[in-house]
Amino acid sequence: MIGKSLAHYDILETIGSGGMGEVYRARDRKLDRDVAVKLIPSAWRHDERALARLRREAKALAALNHPNIVTLYSIEEDRENVFLTMELVEGQPLGALIREGGIEVGEFLKIAIPLADALAAAHGKGVIHRDLKPSNIMITETGRVKVLDYGVALVTHESKLTDADRTAGTASYMSPEQIAGGEIDGRSDMFALGIMFYELLSGTRPFRGEHPAAVMYSIVNEEAPRLSVRPEAVADVVHRCLEKEPGRRFASAAELLRALQELASTTGPRRGSAQSDLPAPEIQAAYDRSDFGEVCRALWVAQQQRDLSAEELEMLATSMMWISKITEAVQTREKAYAAYSKSGRNTDAARVALDLVADYIEKGAGTVARGWLRRAERLLASEPECREHGYLLRRQTAEAMGRSDFSRAMELNQRCGEIAARINDVDLQVIALHDRGQILIARGDVEEGTGLVDEAMTSAVSGEVSPMTVGVLYCRTMSVCKAIADYGRAREWSEAARGMGEPYAASVFPGVCQVQSAETLRQQGLWADAERAAREACDYFMKTGLENHAGEALIEIGELALRKGNFDEAEEAFRQAHERGHDPVPGLPLLRLAQGKAGTAQQIITRALSECTDNRLRRAKLLAAGIDIAVASGELSIAEAAVGELLELSRDFRCAAFEAHALMGRGVLELERGDGSAATRTLRKAWSIFKERAFPYDAARARTLMARAYIETGNKEDAKLELEAACKTFRELGAQPDLQRASEMIERST
């Protein structure tokens, strides 16, 4: 096969061979990377039942996304061959570490813990290896343990065991039940693991014989000599794995993992280097139950005695983020990155780099965020496909969205979703679905896009994804609803999501969500609640140093102050928002208009519109304010053009709120031209939309304009009714400038 090709894979050299087929190094021409290719034996190629089972089991194996299990990329078929493509793992087999007298306990635990973790992950997916042995365990050049060759693996929920299934494996590492042809489960793998553990610690096998039959006899009938190792608890763990009766072994690989982690927490160095890559079991348990304060306390105590491992630093950083120690979290995360990078663990380093991208975006440091993104791209460029590639694609999608390059964003999102499906990462699948919805909405496919957003949120509220992903999805959904002025949808999802974030009340998410929800509350007439949410969010972000989000909260505070007539407060809020990098439009030009500075207001809104050419949703909100400002400035042709553009955007995005604002602008223009009858009809339609969408402030403004139209046509009675209704709403809201204007109109019309 050397020098030949299978599909787009060029065969370079033979790596190994066995009963399950030949394994080759090959070059993947499409992705420009080396992979391992396992050619399935010819006897299988014409056995449809065997091939059907192989396909089913390959699908299950592809879902084993774990750093200590070799990644299965695909199963390929052509006219003559069936083959698997896998991650190419280079290093030395575990057998190379087996030496006379055995290895140190600390070195042993660094191998045993990831092995048990890998088995726990596989068994959790219903996959039993059945052929664990030193040649199927590789130690990479960076020290990473990798379990290889799931070629005779059994997917317990997919397959019925045949006699051949029960006896598959290598004689020296078979469990007694495998040799006897009995029922097997994950505890059979544990027995093989026990044999390898014994070899590593002693340098010899626990069961020996002159030939395979003699070895199997020893496995079934003889007890392994007691290991001479300290502490004794290490020997206890190994011998429990080697119990003849499966019921006397550990109940699961997860239980074995916990036992090994407990040993690691009491064995090894106390200073200078981490005692184990993995956090102690009690710290992991606190993290799993979201007790982030306890995690921070425990790891701080541990740090006084020894250096934390990269994994512990990463866990500490995430926990700090959850309890709003933002600056400390970012610093700790950078230490975790350095630790992973120093040990050559590129995938882990890239994962932390991607987290740092998000951290610096939250802090408003876009340049630094882009630097970390470029670093993540470089680290993953030569790594085999993994979940980190999916999250990298998601960040690249966001970059394309920022440029309004929707075709590129959709292409990247599609690739992200495909990786998520292949590795069975539910969080990434749901996030990719939500991102696709946002892309569709941004390019004008609102109905399809909101459908995908809703579907993703269903996964969030039903508990299918992690708490971090719930927070991301909720905040982004509120942002989408704001952009398309669909505050009803925002309210419904807020109610559905209520209570989900209780364990994370001290984290950044409630603050972000308060900012996102403040505009929704304002538009729905809940001004007191909106102001409270905006002020609490602003205080939180000021304390934690998240100036970017503080600017968003300040803009909302300014918008509320403007409507209430507190112009000095609005001025100060908009000024502070501008200092933090936010353009306070349309609030600032509307403030200038309210202060009687129509010309200044027109200059500001014209500048803002000229700069906002790519983001059509943002432009729509600017146009709504621009119409009022242009009319007040006497620029009726500008107002007419803005009305036409806003109506077009309302059709493109199927947005009733945009349509209502455009109709209100058209009604004002009809009033300016003296056509009170046409204005009445137009403004009533605008009022009807605002009322139906529960926008009380805008509905009351439309009533005021309708009253003006009625007065123009001599219908003072209807004008009075509209003004009284508007005054009632303005009074309830606290909209003093509007209330004063409407009250003065009542006085003049009577």
pLDDT digits (tens, 9 = 90+) for 542-581: 887 777 788 999 999 999 999 999 999 999 999 999 999 8
- Confidence at 57, pLDDT banded by 50, 70, 90: low
Query: What confidence score (pLDDT) does residue 159 get?
Result: 42
Residue 204 CB partners (closer than 8 Å, separation 6+): 198
- Residue 727's nearest CA partner among 707, 750, 748 is 707
8-state DSSP, 224: P
Residue 379 CB partners (closer than 8 Å, separation 6+): 341, 346, 347, 349, 350, 353
- The tokens describing 243, both together, are 């119990």
pTM exceeds 0.75: no
- The tokens describing 655, both together, are 């947005």
Three-state DSSP state, 415? helix
Pick the CATH number of 655-749 from 3.20.20.70, 1.25.40.10, 1.10.10.10, 1.10.357.10: 1.25.40.10
Tell me the CATH class for 5-43+58-86: alpha beta
- The tokens describing 441, both together, are 């909405």
What is the rounded CA–CA span in Å between residue 540 and residue 195? 55
pLDDT digits (tens, 9 = 90+) for 647-693: 999 999 999 999 999 999 999 999 999 999 999 999 999 999 999 99
Query: What confidence score (pLDDT) does residue 657 get?
Result: 95
- Please determine, for residue 168, whether its predicted confidence score (pLDDT) is greater than 50: no
CB of 650 closer than 8 Å to CB of 477: no
Half-sphere exposure (CA, 13 Å, Cβ side) for 279?
Answer: 22
Q: Domain 291-380 adopts which CATH fold?
A: 1.25.40
Active site residues: 131
**What would the mean pLDDT of 616-628 be, rounded to a whole number?**
95
Half-sphere exposure (CA, 13 Å, Cβ side) for 421?
Answer: 9
Query: What confidence score (pLDDT) does residue 267 get?
Result: 60
Which residue is it, tokens 């969500």?
513
Which residue is it, tokens 């020296």?
172
What is the rounded CA–CA span in Å between residue 725 and residue 567? 25
What is the rounded CA–CA span in Å between residue 340 and residue 356? 14
8-state DSSP, 69: B
How many whole angstroms from its chain centre is CA 729? 42
* Length reported for the chain: 750
pLDDT digits (tens, 9 = 90+) for 511-530: 667 777 888 889 999 999 99
Query: What confidence score (pLDDT) does residue 469 get?
Result: 84
Three-state DSSP state, 522? helix
Region(s) of the chain under CATH 3.30.200.20: 5-43+58-86
- Residue 378's nearest CA partner among 337, 349, 412, 342 is 349
Region(s) of the chain under CATH 1.10.510.10: 91-266
Query: What confidence score (pLDDT) does residue 151 get?
Result: 45
pLDDT digits (tens, 9 = 90+) for 304-343: 778 899 999 999 999 898 887 888 999 999 999 999 999 8
Query: What confidence score (pLDDT) does residue 273 get?
Result: 39
Query: What confidence score (pLDDT) does residue 44 get?
Result: 66
Measured in Å, how far apart are the chain's first and last C-alpha atoms? 99
What is the rounded CA–CA span in Å between residue 491 and residue 474? 12
Q: What is the average pLDDT score of the chain?
A: 87
Tell me the CATH class for 91-266: mainly alpha
- The tokens describing 114, both together, are 């990831």
Report, in angstroms and rounded to the nearest whole number, the Rg of the chain calculated over CA atoms.
Answer: 33
DSSP string computed for 691-736:
HHTT-HHHHHHHHHHHHHHHHHTT-HHHHHHHHHHHHHHHHHHT-H
pLDDT digits (tens, 9 = 90+) for 231-252: 889 999 999 999 999 999 999 9
**Was domain 385-483 assigned CATH 1.25.40?**
yes
6-12: Cβ within 8 A, 24+ apart: 6/37, 6/39, 6/76, 6/78, 6/81, 6/83, 7/76, 7/78, 9/35, 9/37, 9/76, 9/85, 11/37
**What would the mean pLDDT of 136-149 be, rounded to a whole number?**
84
Please report the sign of the dihedral spanned by the C-alpha atoms of residue 370, residue 373, residue 375, residue 377.
Answer: negative
Region(s) of the chain under CATH 1.25.40.10: 291-380, 655-749
